[in-house]
Amino acid sequence: MSSSSPPAILADNLSKTYDRVPAVDALSFRVETGSVVGLLGGNGAGKTTTLAMIMGLTTPTAGSVRVFGADMARERGKVLHRINFESPYADLPHRLTVRQNLSVFGKLYGVQRLKARIEEIAEALDLAQFLDRRTGQLSAGQKTRAALAKALINEPDLLLLDEPTASLDPDTADWVRSHLEEFRRRRGATILLASHNMGEVERLCDRVIIMRTGRIVHNEPPDALIARYGRETLEEVFLDVARGRGAGARVETAQAIP
Amino acid sequence: MNEAPAGLELDRQRASAAGFSPARVMAMIERHLYLLGSSPVRLVDLAYWPTVQLLTWSFLQLYVGRTSQLPVLAAGTLIGGILLWDVLFRGQLGFSMSFLEEVWSRNLGHLLMSPLRPGEFVLSLMIMSILRLTIGLIPAVIIATTFFGFDLATLSFAIPFLFINLMLTAWSVGLVTSGLILRNGLAAETIAWSAMFAMMPFACISYPVATLPGVLQPIAWALPPTYVFEAMRAMLIAKSFRLDLLIESFALNLVWIGLGAVGFRALLASARRAGSLLAMGE
């Protein structure tokens, strides 16, 4: 990657207000290409709104967000084929089989040799025996893997994940994390991960952005954050931040763009 | 790093091209055909109401025809009117229901985040409305021509003109109702079912425009389908092909479809501002 390449994500003074209530307030951060960044925060912190603005599904009230240099409010068509996402707010059509869903999305993303790609990704995600089953008939873990298969069908350069392992049993969740690690290692892809699972974030992320009431409170590597708070785990740090105590209680806007 | 797996060659240039992609339109049609194929109930439902409605009106025409000497009834204008009304109503419903399927299945976020462009999405909905309409109307047309003596041949060369005009109106209304659902969520779902009925009294399906009070006639002439139904009556009763009426309907439809497209875009932009797209669903 040349040094002149734009970052995978560049948010500049990004704000969103609903009925005069700020959901996201002057957010500025960058996510370098090839990194895995965790987006953390309590319920209502603004994570999903931030993700929706990055995806171009929600128009910012102020500021801008660029993905691979493209302004997502005006130029999202230039980069959408390089992005994919998984979110609990979106399902795959339940009446279609897994294979049919992957076929439709593969064609939307312009994937060549699609049949082989579907077989390949089904094999990798342990979905081969479920390919011809209706998506609505799958278990929660199988549905998550099917959603992940859709999110990876185009081998995205940027993968946006909103709670990818929520509602999964520990074994399946661990399996999904391993697959994400393998995907990142193999493709050098950028991943932005919104999660409440601090163990997952510690394991996967190079950097964490912690949000509270729509603002960035911290933006640094998990190890540095844990050390600065004098804690053992990111979960303990998260609790300190959520309860407004400890080393990072102040809003560190200066750290917004490291 | 960045090693593409075997079997994957993403044609990025093609996928990222700002232009229109027929492949993406076909993918969306494929998605809806999979859905229809998976659900016999949906297929039966497409044909059920047009058939029931046709039977009801046809029996009414038989009864009134036997007890009245009005030539308009003998000419089958009631049956013709109801068939063309179904083209209009089912055309809009086919568009709106295909759109609603995405909302009901919570798939809209996936689609709007994919390279699918709004214009491609809309075109796929238009094509699906034709397919759904065709499936729904085939039994009704067979019944009307076979059992009730409706002479489709009288309309034969005019059918494409009638059909195109009615579908353009159907799509115009479908665009606006879909935009309203995008903006307001499923709270606006009933509009998809009922919007076309607001047009019903003024489009003069079964009676001439002259029947309406003078004050309402300008409203009737502002509706593109009114010209279609007038043209149908002229053909069935007077065997006269009123190209002028069909051209007027087409011109008005161009305005309507333009307004529909502008409305859809504005409502989509409004939905993005409201942040309602990702969380939309049941």
Contact B7 A91 (CB under 8 A): no
CA angle, residues B191, B195, B198, in degrees to nearest 5: 140
pLDDT score of B280: 62
Of A119-133, A231-245, B84-98, B258-272, give the lowest mean pLDDT range: A231-245
On chain B, the residues whose CB falls within 8 A of the CB of A81 are 10, 12, 15-16, 115
- In terms of pTM, does the model score above 0.90? no
CB atoms near residue A23 (< 10 Å): 22
Residue B68 has pLDDT above 80, yes or no: no
Per CB-CB distance under 8 Å, the chain A contacts of B278 are 48, 52, 55, 57-58, 87, 89-90
Residues of B in contact with A107 (CB under 8 A): 23-24, 26-27, 30
Burial class for B14, CB neighbours closer than 10 Å (0-12, 13-18, 19+):
middle
Confidence of residue A250 (pLDDT cuts 50, 70, 90): very low
Does A59 sit within 8 Å of B273, measured CB to CB? Answer: yes
- pLDDT band at residue A88 under the 50/70/90 scheme: confident
Q: Give me the mean pLDDT over the B61-68 stretch.
A: 75
Q: Is A80 within 8 Å of B279 when comparing Cβ atoms?
A: no
> What distance, in Å, lies between the first and last C-alpha atoms of chain A?
19
Query: 3-state class of B116 per DSSP?
Result: coil
* A-chain residue closest to B16, CA distance: A78
Does residue B67 surpass a pLDDT of 70? yes
- The helix/strand/coil state of A201 is helix
Question: Phi-psi bin for B185: left (phi > 0), alpha (psi -120 to 50), beta?
Answer: left
Contact B31 A49 (CB under 8 A): no
What's the mean per-residue pLDDT of chain B?
Answer: 86
The H or E element that residue B17 is part of is none
Q: Which residue has the higher pLDDT, B255 or B279?
A: B255
Q: Which residue of A lies nearest to B277 if distances are taken between CA atoms?
A: A57
* Digit-coded pLDDT (tens) for B160-215: 899 999 999 999 999 999 999 999 888 888 988 899 999 999 999 989 999 999 99
When pLDDT is averaged across residues B43-70 and rounded to a whole number, the result is 80
Residue B58, pLDDT > 90, answer no
Strands A111-112 and A83-86: unpaired
Mark yes or no for CB contact A93/B105 under 8 Å.
Answer: yes
pLDDT, position B176: 96
Q: Which of A36, A51, A108, A186 has the most B C-beta neighbours within 10 Å, making it the best mutation to test the interface with B? A: A108
CB atoms A91 and B115 under 8 Å: no
User: Would the CB atoms of A112 and B10 count as touching at under 8 Å?
Assistant: yes
CB-nearest partner of B27 from A97, A108, A112: A108
Collect all residues of chain A within an 8 Å Cβ-Cβ radius of residue B97.
Answer: none
pLDDT recorded at residue B88: 95
Inform me whether the pLDDT recorded for B243 exceeds 70. Answer: yes
Inspect the interface and report whether the beta carbons of B113 and A187 lie closer than 8 Å: no
Which of B7, B15, B279 has its CB closest to that of A89? B279
B263 pLDDT higher than 80: yes
**Chain B positions in Cβ-Cβ contact with residue A146 (cut-off 8 Å):** none
Q: Are B90 and B136 in contact (CB under 8 A)?
A: yes
Query: How many CB atoms sit inside 10 A of residue A4's CB?
Result: 5
Write out the two tokens for A250: 């102040």
B8/A112 Cβ within 8 A: yes
Q: CA A52, CA A59: separation in Å to the nearest integer? A: 8
Residue B279 has pLDDT above 80, yes or no: no
> Contact at 8 Å (CB) between A79 and B115?
no
* Cross-chain residue pair A81–B115, CB shorter than 8 Å: yes
Once rounded to an integer, what is the mean pLDDT over residues A143-153?
94
Instruction: Please give the helix or strand (H or E) that residue B78 lies within, else none.
Output: helix B77-104
In this predicted structure, what is the pLDDT of residue B18?
A: 56
- Which of B276, B278, B280, B282 should we substitute to test contact with A (largest number of A Cβ atoms within 10 Å)? B278
Q: How far off is chain A from B95, nearest CA to CA, in Å?
A: 18
Closest residue on chain B to A51 (Cα): B278
Q: What angle do CA A258, B2, B8 make, to 5 degrees?
A: 135
Q: How far apart are CA B112 and CA B152, in angstroms?
A: 42
> Are the beta carbons of B275 and A58 separated by less than 8 Å?
yes
Residue A135 above 80 pLDDT? Answer: yes
Mean pLDDT for all residues in chain A? 89
Q: What is the pLDDT of residue B66?
A: 74
- Candidates A83, A251, A227; CA nearest to A153 is A83
The length of chain A, given as a count of residues: 258
Least CA distance to A80: which residue of chain B? Answer: B115
* Minimal-distance CA residue of chain A relative to B21: A108
The number of C-beta contacts closer than 8 angstroms across A and B is: 159
Out of A34, A92, A110, the one facing B107 most closely (by C-beta) is: A92
Q: Residue B61 — φ and ψ, nearest 5°?
A: -65, -40
Q: Write down the pLDDT at residue A248.
A: 47
Nearest CA in chain B to A116: B7
Q: What are the pLDDT digits (tens) for A166-215?
A: 877 888 888 889 989 999 999 999 999 998 889 899 999 999 999 988 99
Coil, strand or helix at A163: coil
Residue B2 carries which side chain, given as an amino acid letter? N
Q: What is the pLDDT of residues B125-144, one digit of tens each?
A: 999 999 999 998 888 888 88
Give residue A252's pLDDT.
44
Classify strands A158-162 and A83-86 as parallel, antiparallel or unpaired. Answer: parallel
State the nearest Cα–Cα gap between B25 and chain A, in angstroms: 8
SS3 A83: strand
pLDDT value, residue A253: 41
Closest-CA residue of B relative to A110 is B15
pLDDT (mean) for A213-226: 92
Element (H, E) at B119: helix B118-147
Residue A103 CA to residue A107 CA, distance in Å, equals 6
Rounded to two decimals, the ipTM of the complex is 0.88
CB contact under 8 A, A92 and B11: no
Average pLDDT on A98-124 reads 96
pLDDT recorded at residue B96: 95
Task: Tell me the one-letter amino acid at B54.
Answer: L
d(CA A65, CA A72): 6
Contact between A113 and B34 using a beta-carbon 8 Å cutoff: no
Range of lowest pLDDT (A117-126, B1-10, B177-186, B212-221): B1-10
Min Cα separation B39/chain A (Å) = 8
Considering chain A, what percentage of its residues have pLDDT values greater than 70? 93
pLDDT of B9 over the 60 cut: no
pLDDT of the residue at B75? 63
In B, minimum Cα distance to A162 occurs at B278
User: Which are the contacts of A239, defined by CB distance < 8 A and separation ≥ 6?
Assistant: none
